[in-house]
């Protein structure tokens, strides 16, 4: 995975048909997705439950781009090896998920993956000040995590601060929650380069009508061009 700051669209398969993940992943990639965003929820750190390592491992052969796994779970450390084994390219943990995010990021890199750190809306940019050389991606949540389809919370001031803190380091700024053609320009202008989008990509489409996924992604790209 080479680093660049071009805008990348990472559809969240949280909004896909849960009975048809393989075909959904192939459809969004065929329609132009840059990465595939996989939301892992434990019904404990967040009030919703999705899937775990065996499911993520089953997704892997379908993902030809980048498998971007967002853990909304606590604890994280006991599961790091399982997600490496499942084939995650990027593994993101929440800073709020435990007292030892520094150790967690080291362990994720140690297991051969890119390490991401996610920040809930209430967590300030400064919380990652001492993690910048340990991380490959900072995920700025623009909703409280747990569900797709929520209203965008404006975090542009935080994104701007992070962009400045990152400087020349090869660290992505990813935005997760409520990204659509209206909100994407705000976050890209502030310094984001990875746009996670669930409902805005999947709405109106299906594996039998995947052109809609392509149209939805083109609408997001056009909004930031």
Which string of x and - marks every residue 123-162 that binds ligand DX5 (by CB under 6 A)? --------------------x-xxxxxx------------
The answer to whether 117 touches 92, Cβ cutoff 8 Å, is yes
Residue nearest to Zn ion (CB): 70
Which string of x and - marks every residue 184-223 that binds ligand DX5 (by CB under 6 A)? ------------xxxxx-----------------------
Using alpha carbons, list the distances in angstroms from residue 58 to 53, 62, 67, 113, 137. Answer: 9, 8, 12, 18, 24
Interactions with Zn ion, residue window 10-39 (CB under 5 A): 39
Give strand pairing partners of 119: 140
The DSSP secondary structure of 76-140, one letter per residue, reads -GGGHHHHHHHT-SEEEEEGGG-S-HHHHHHHHHHTTSEEEEEE-TTS-GGGGTTTTTT-SEEEE
Q: Which of 34, 39, 42, 136 is catalytic?
A: 39
Contact residues toward ligand DX5 (CB under 6 A) are 12, 14-15, 37, 39, 70, 143, 145-150, 176-179, 196-200
Binding site for Zn ion (CB under 5 A): 39, 70, 176
- Report the catalytic residues: 39, 176
């Amino acid at each position: 995975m080479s680093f660049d700051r071009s805008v990348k669209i990472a559809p969240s398969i949280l909004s896909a048909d849960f009975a048809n993940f393989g075909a959904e992943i192939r459809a969004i990639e065929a329609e132009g997705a840059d990465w595939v965003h996989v939301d892992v929820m434990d019904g404990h750190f967040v009030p919703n439950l999705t899937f775990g390592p065996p499911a993520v491992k089953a997704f892997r052969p379908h993902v030809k781009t980048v498998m971007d796994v967002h853990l909304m779970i606590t604890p994280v450390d006991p599961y790091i090896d399982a997600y490496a084994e499942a084939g995650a390219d990027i593994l993101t943990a929440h800073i709020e998920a435990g007292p030892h995010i520094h150790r967690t990021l080291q362990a994720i890199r140690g297991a051969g993956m890119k390490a991401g750190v996610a920040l809930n809306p209430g967590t300030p940019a400064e919380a990652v000040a001492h993690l910048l050389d340990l991380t490959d991606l900072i995920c700025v949540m623009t909703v409280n995590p747990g569900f797709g389809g929520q209203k965008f919370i404006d975090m542009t001031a935080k994104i701007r601060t992070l962009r400045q803190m990152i400087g020349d380091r090869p660290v992505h700024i990813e935005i997760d929650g409520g990204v659509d053609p209206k909100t994407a320009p705000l976050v890209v202008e502030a310094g984001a380069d990875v746009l996670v989008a669930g409902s805005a990509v999947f709405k109106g489409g299906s594996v039998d009508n995947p052109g809609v996924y392509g149209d939805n992604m083109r609408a997001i790209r056009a909004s930031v061009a």
